[in-house]
Each structure stands twice: as C-alpha cells, then as structure tokens.
Amino acid sequence: MATDKQTKIRTKTQDGVTDVLVLVSHPMETGLRVDPKTKEKVPPHFIQKMSFSLDGKEVASTDLGTAVAKDPLIGIKLKGAKSGAKLKVTWSDNMGESASEETTIS
C-alpha cells in the first residue's frame, strides 16, 4: 500500500563503525487516545516491523510497538559496512502501510 509518510536516513562512518539513523513521520497511535472532538478512541496505528538490509542481505530487524513515540527515530550501528554499499530500510505497520528507502553509505 502506498503511503504519504516520509522516511529519512542518515549515515555516518567513523573507525569502521557506521551509525545509521532512520526518521519516519508516523502517528504511532496506541489505540488508547481519545479524539477530543468526536470523543471516540483513535484506532491504533503503529509500525510493527522495520528491517535493514545491506546490498540485499538483511543485517538487522526490529519489532516495534505502541510504546514507541510519534515520528520515531531509530538507530543501529553497523560494523564493517563498506563505503558505496546500498542500505535499504523497510517498514510496515498494522494498517498495512509500508515504505522503503535506500541510501548509499558514504
């Protein structure tokens, strides 16, 4: 399913360790919040899975839940990632939305 949500990636390599930061614009609704206007509960809407792959091979994956804040910033550290390698981040949420973003490690 297509999505209007932004996914931004930033990488920084220092001493052979690459810091990868991913920023996603996502409401991360828990399903417990009440809409102040309609007085009804806002349906849950949160990222469930996010995975990182380097040159097509999965290097990390994570299960996220409702405890994660709105517009989450998620970071991992990669050891020995070569410069020029393609890093792909994919996420999907409980409403079936998903997106992926690619970047080249500098």
Partner 1 sequence: MKKIFLFMTVLGVFAATSPVTIADPATDLKNFQAFFKKKFPTVPFDEYANGFYALPGMETYREQWLLYNEFPPLELGLAIGKKIWETPFKNGKAFASCFPNGGKNIAQGYPYWDEAMQKVRTAEMDLNGCLKKNGEPEFTDLDKDQNTRIRLAELTAYFYSLSKGQRVKIDISSPGAVKAYEEGKKYWWQRRGQLNFACANCHMDLAGKNFGGNQPLSAALGHTTAWPAQRLEWGRLETIHFRYMTCNSQIRAKSQKHGSEIYNDLQFYETYMSSGLPLTAPAMRN
Taking the complex as a whole, how short is the minimal distance between the CB of residue 16 and partner 1, in angstroms? 20
Confirm if 101 and 88 have CB atoms less than 8 A apart.
yes
3-class SS string, 32-82: CCECCCCCCECCCECEEEEEEEECCEEEEEEECCCCCCCCCEEEEEEECCC
Taking the complex as a whole, how short is the minimal distance between the CB of residue 40 and partner 1, in angstroms? 18
Residue of the chain from 17, 25, 33, 77 that contacts partner 1 (CB under 8 A): 25
Give 29's DSSP letter. B
d(CA 4, CA 25): 9
Residue of the chain from 55, 58, 71, 102 that contacts partner 1 (CB under 8 A): 71
Nearer to partner 1, 21 or 55 (CB): 21
Residue of the chain from 13, 23, 59, 97 that contacts partner 1 (CB under 8 A): 23
Taking the complex as a whole, how short is the minimal distance between the CB of residue 75 and partner 1, in angstroms? 9
Residues that bind partner 1 (CB under 8 A): 6, 8, 10, 21, 23, 25, 70-71, 73
